[in-house]
Amino acid sequence: MTSPHPPGPTGDLLLPAADTDAPPQAPPASLSRDAWQQLRARPVVWACLAVIALIGLTAAAPGLFTALFTDDDGRCELARSKLGPTTGHPFGYDLQGCDYLAQVVRGSRPSLLAGVAVTAGALLVSVVLGLLAGFYGGWVDSLLSRATEVAFGLPFVLGATVILVAFPRHGLGAMTLVLVALGWSTMTRVMRSQVIAVKDADYVRAARMTGARPSRLMLRHVLPNAVTPVVVVAMLNVGNVISGEATLDFLGVGLQYPAVSWGLQLNTAQSYFLDHPHLLAFPALFLSATVLSFILLGDAVRDAYDPKLR
């Protein structure tokens, strides 16, 4: 059956000066969209996100977990010191006879706070310094690059140990500052090299020739196009910072006794773990799962964003 109406003139004929080379009609493909597609298809990404969400929830609302999983009433009795898991107290008791599940759950907060705060601080420092060094070059770059190399030469845990031992009365805030001071160099280098690669791009030249000020060039053009790899490195860094913070606690130079953290629990457990393995096992399990999740997630994100690995 034929249509009663002849095909009318299409709108195309009315368009002025349309290009004959076909514009790509496929759904818009961009690096971030591709990366998200690739990430979404990987089960390990979802597993890592689940673990991180769970740990994040324990850090945000530890009361929820103690209420759900133990009969803990918040009291510690030395008579129950180091007792193993029993019904109502699935993780057993710690050295002071407190419910161990409640202790382990509360230990997640300093670890996550340190991991996120240190990484965010280091990211901020490195983005600013890398942007300045890469964009301006010259003596600014020389100065910042030499400073970065000095910071890069300092060992992370040893450097932190030395500084924290020198200032014994410190809390999580001071530790965060020390770890930022020791951890910004790698990201700064990545940022600087990205900025150098982007700043001579034609679109930056075009804006410069139109009369754009350096602040506009840096914030509108260079930063959005240079920041992705640094963010990926930062994600990988969260796991390292968490394990570093736990290491410092374990060595006795990080958080001190009244505070609760996985590193401190592991420190306590080292003397008793042959007879009372649960003291070691539970904080170690939580710590490893958290660090591993951040590192695997960072790896996956890096793979997704690095076109060379595709």
Partner 1 sequence: MSTGAPDPTDPNPPEPDRPVLRVRGLAKHYPTGGGPFRRRGTGAVRAVDGVDLELHRGETLGLVGESGCGKSTLASVLMGAERPSAGTVEVDGQDLFALDRRQLRAVRRRMQMVLQDPYSSLDPRMTIGRIVAEPLAIHPEVLPRERRPAKVAELLRLVGLDPAHADRYPHQLSGGQRQRVGIARALALGPELLLCDEPVSALDVSVQAQVLNLLADLRERLGLACLFIAHDLAVVQYLCDRIAVMYLGRIVETGTREQVYGSPYHPYTRALLAAVPVPDPTLRGAQVALLEGDLPSPADPPSGCRFRTRCPQAQQRCAQEEPALTVRPGTDHPTACHFPLPAQVPPPRDPATGKAP
Contacting residues toward partner 1, per CB under 8 A = 15-24, 28-30, 201-203, 205-213, 216, 220-221, 224-225
Question: Which residues are CB-contacts of 72 (< 8 A; sequence separation ≥ 6)?
Answer: 66, 89, 98, 99, 101, 102
Q: Which is nearer to partner 1, 40 or 220 (CB)?
A: 220
Query: In degrees to the nearest 10, what's the CA dihedral of 163, 298, 283, 255?
Result: 20
* Cβ at position 32, least distance to partner 1 in Å: 9
Q: Which is nearer to partner 1, 151 or 212 (CB)?
A: 212
* Cβ at position 230, least distance to partner 1 in Å: 15
Q: Which is nearer to partner 1, 80 or 216 (CB)?
A: 216
* Cβ at position 232, least distance to partner 1 in Å: 17
* Cβ at position 220, least distance to partner 1 in Å: 8
Q: Which is nearer to partner 1, 31 or 174 (CB)?
A: 31
What's the burial of 87, exposed, middle or buried (CB within 10 Å: 0-12/13-18/19+)? exposed
Residues 289/246, Cβ–Cβ less than 8 Å: no
Task: State how far Cα 54 lies from the chain centre.
Answer: 16
How many other β-carbons are positioned within 10 Å of the β-carbon of residue 105?
27
* Cβ at position 298, least distance to partner 1 in Å: 23
Q: What angle do helix axes 262-269 and 228-251 make, rounded to 10 degrees?
A: 40
Q: Which is nearer to partner 1, 38 or 225 (CB)?
A: 225
